[in-house]
Chain A
Amino acid sequence: MARLSELEKLRNVIYTCTHCGNCKYFYNWGEKENLFGRNCPSGNYFYFDSYYGSRARSAAAKGLLEGKLEWSEPLVQALFACTTCAACAQQCEVDFKDWIIRTMETLRREAVKAGVGPIARQKAFGEWTLKEHNPYMEKHVDRLAWLPKDIRQKLPETAEYLYFVGCTSSYRQKNIALATTKLLLKLGVDFTISDDEWCCGSPHLRTGQWDIAQEVARHNAELVDRVGAKKVITTCAGCYRTLLADYQQEPPHGYSDILNVGFNKPVIHTIQLIEELIRKGKIELGEYPKKVTYHDPCHLGRHMAPIQGREACYEAPRNVLKSIPKIEFVEMERSREWAWCCGSGGGVKSGFPEMAIQTAVERIKEAESIGAEVLTSVCPFCWRNLDDAIKMTGSNMKMLDITEILLEIVK
């Protein structure tokens, strides 16, 4: 067996996992009601303990470190069939808590090093990223194909903000890229967009393809300097986490030890900027008389709230929605730190598409159960998977990014 050098570094934290199983369900004691719910997409889909919560992955890590487990296809499947949504970390009460995601991704790194990972489709998007700088098998030259010429001409060469569009919005959820751009222009935000943006590296960090993440991170860090922007703004929760935590923070929350790009620019999510503008009274909103609920993206919520705080990561989108006249905002039972994952993160959308869609179907049913007409979020990757599930189930609910709603009603 190849040396498990990265996993060895985490040996002491891995052994703090007590195998207690807190990580397998959402649970919280409350004065009037106790919260209980399913939390683990992979455990919920595959049911075996080898797929359930962080306990499963710490067991695999111990097995590998102690030489009791060999690499095998079922082991690789179990390690990669996890959305890294951090719902298990939310439940954990021991010192392993903060290290859970890093441990899962390190296990994947070891699988990649051993030549048994990642899953074939994840490997393919990694190889494509080296050539064309995106994981969507699209051409780099087409990155800004969504941006109408007339708008592009309005954007300055350099600006206070670089809008880091992200691959999903650039190539798939172009509706979000366009809505964001139009909205920022309408609000008079000083921003620009670059045609030389590369994938942020999130899919590669999440799937153990760290060398690819290193390359794209280096490029993007230089790009921000080249553009001359003081800050970066994103509409993608995944890009937000990667640029702010992974590029800039030490482990356990970030990958600065691996990426080592010396990037330290402020990064803000669009929704946080909009909330600030609303708070300052700089936005006037029209009515939106619909019943709307909000899905917390894991990469904005559970991944970033420990670093950026609850207000920025859970409340900002809610404050924006609640400030809309005539809107009827309703919460799903599993929300904020207890949110059920959309099912697409951690490489699962490409590696385990059936699990991804079934996970999203559960979320759609939850949103429908409270009578929501519109399901919103602030992540194009969540948008895509949830919308796929809406279409698959024939739901009447509409999927919209909050920027799409705002574009419609900002006066």
Chain B
Amino acid sequence: MGDKILRILKEIVGDEYASADEAVLYPYSFDLTWAKPRMPDYVVLPNTVEDIQRILRLANRERIPVVPYVSGTNIGGLCIPENGGIIMDLKRMNKIIEINTETGYVVVEPGVTHAQLSAALKKEGFTFSWPVGPPAASVLACAINCGIGHLASKFGINAENISSMEVVLPTGEVAKIGSCAFSDSWHSLWPLPQLAGLFIGWLGTTGIVTKLGVWIYDIPPFIKVETVATDNVEDMARWQRAIRRTYVPLDVTAVSWWLAQVPIPHPYVEKPKDAPEWYCFNVLTAWTEKQMDAYVDLFNKIVKEEQQRGSSVRPYPYPEEALKGRTQLPSRIVGTTKNYCGSGVAGLSWPGTFTPASNWPPLYHEWKTILIKHHFSPAVRLTNFQGAHYGMMRAFVPFDKRKVGDPNLRIKGIDNQENARQALLECVEAGVKYGMIPYKPPVDFWSILNRKADPGFISLLTKVKDMLDPNGIMNPGKLGVR
């Protein structure tokens, strides 16, 4: 059977682009997270939409799981093949199909990386919303899985910037969604029925998105990063509420002292007594010097007003390397590398969540207690999305993946990986009561989330999944249902 499947896969993509060799499969069996490594049975590298259709028809016929994959650098274990099957590595499909500076969108294939697109767009004076993830990660995968970028405070998460898409269903049919379904223009999902929602936030469980249109933005000539600090999370959350009302900054992001360190201290160390607990960078952009001066005046005015209300907020320098890492994007310093897990020894995971801003302070206090108890730094980030409406709260937890008994373990005498898992599950338990919703979540989070979920939501989710993927082949296990 195995030989037969491999033979067909090779017929589809060519001998050199399909494999069932253990040594080839192995790097696809694990990632940075605590997700239990699982070996795929095959890895295949399609080059065209037709290749993908044929692979999915085969998988559907033979009931073989298919896991879409580009770089595997998410920190939710999303590309780990829970039930084996085929890793569909899409990195050969790496063309930037269109850069439309007039209407302001690009069309990319799944293998296009943030590094690649940023280089192409900057030449044109444009930008997309770059995440602080690895530059080698996929633009398309980040967007359809609700990743965020540096424009999120003003223009929303990357999924909100999707303008059209092409998708191959698990049963092999191809569909275009949005304006591209009617013309060659990939400018808008609206005002059509929101079919894109069948593939956004589904973690690759409903089909393979083969082309994606996303909105791009002009790079203004004047950019200034104003940084403030506060002594506590309450003052920081209040600062973010105050500044976000203006809809002026492109990015309003606060990080705890521990996340501002490069790398995050691990195991936990106490913050120096004279250092602020929270830092915030506020990215101001303008088209004229006068406009920038006005924004800076506004910024200073808000600082003063907050101080008059008794806030500890004050202008404060942001640690230099961390600032570069967060404003010179995409960045090799942040992402899953030097900043986040330089101290962790191979492991990284998170509760990355969308949490109402009103609940950031109480949840931060709970997370801080939990993380310190487990010897982790409370390396927490708060970012406003779309101005005032919602926001992100997440903690980065680097950990040591070496085996128990290794004399060099960062936290001696315990299973460091299991300790990280337990800590983050406790963080999720704490968060759900504050309206927290994890994004790109590890599979382990779902048992907590689905307990809390509206039964009607679960029922509808299941029905839609079954309709699109009747044989349950697409990335099974990642949604906590099916």
Partner-B contacts on A (CB < 8 A): 11-12, 15-22, 24-25, 27-30, 32-36, 46-50, 55-56, 59-60, 62-63, 66, 68-70, 72, 74-75, 77-78, 91, 93-95
Contact = CB atoms under 8 A, between A and B. Distances in A.
Among A25, A27, A29, A75, the most chain B Cβ lie within 10 Å of the Cβ of A29
B41 interface: no
Q: Which 6 A-B pairs have the closest CB atoms?
A: A36-B119, A75-B23, A27-B115, A74-B21, A21-B136, A93-B338
B116 A25 contact: yes
B273 to A, nearest CB: 29
B346 A16 contact: yes
A33 B120 CA distance: 9
B328 A20 contact: no
Contacts of A94: 337-338, 341-342
A15 B337 contact: no
A60 B136 CA distance: 20
Given A33-B123, A36-B116, A59-B26, A47 B31 contact: no
20 contacts: A15-B400, A16-B342, A16-B346, A20-B73, A20-B337, A21-B137, A25-B113, A27-B136, A29-B330, A32-B122, A33-B119, A34-B119, A34-B122, A36-B116, A36-B120, A46-B16, A69-B22, A69-B26, A72-B22, A74-B23
Given A18-B346, A47-B91, A74 B19 contact: yes
A96 B16 CA distance: 30
Contact of A15 (B118, B120, B330, B402): B402
A50 B43 CA distance: 11
A22 B332 contact: yes
Among B23, B401, B402, B403, the most chain A Cβ lie within 10 Å of the Cβ of B23
B345 A20 contact: no
A36 B37 CA distance: 31
Interface residue range, chain B: 35 or more
B113 A16 contact: no
B24 interface: yes
Given A20-B73, A69-B22, A93 B332 contact: yes
Contacts of A21: 71-73, 134, 136-137
Given A15-B345, A27-B115, A27-B135, 18 more contacts: A15-B401, A17-B346, A18-B342, A18-B344, A19-B30, A24-B136, A28-B332, A30-B122, A36-B115, A49-B27, A55-B27, A56-B27, A63-B26, A68-B26, A74-B23, A94-B338, A94-B341, A94-B342
B348 interface: yes
Contacts, number: 145
Contacts of B403: 66
B327 to A, nearest CB: 10
Nearest to A51: B24
Contacts of A75: 22-23
A22 B135 contact: yes
Nearest to B401: A15
Contact of A22 (B92, B134, B344, B348): B134
Nearest to B45: A47
A1 B92 CA distance: 35
B333 interface: yes
A32 B26 CA distance: 39
Among A11, A18, A34, the most chain B Cβ lie within 10 Å of the Cβ of A18
B194 interface: no
A95 B43 CA distance: 30
B89 A48 contact: yes
Contact of B115 (A34, A49, A70): A34
B19 A18 contact: no
Contacts of B145: none
Contacts of B119: 27, 33-36
Nearest to B31: A19
B240 interface: no
B129 interface: no
Contact of B136 (A18, A25, A50, A59): A25
Interface string B438-469: 00000000000000000000000000000000
Nearest to B403: A66
Given A63-B26, A68-B26, A48 B43 contact: yes
A62 B26 CA distance: 10
A11 to B, nearest CB: 8
Contacts of A24: 71, 136
Interface string B27-52: 11011100001000001010000000
B408 interface: yes
A140 to B, nearest CB: 38
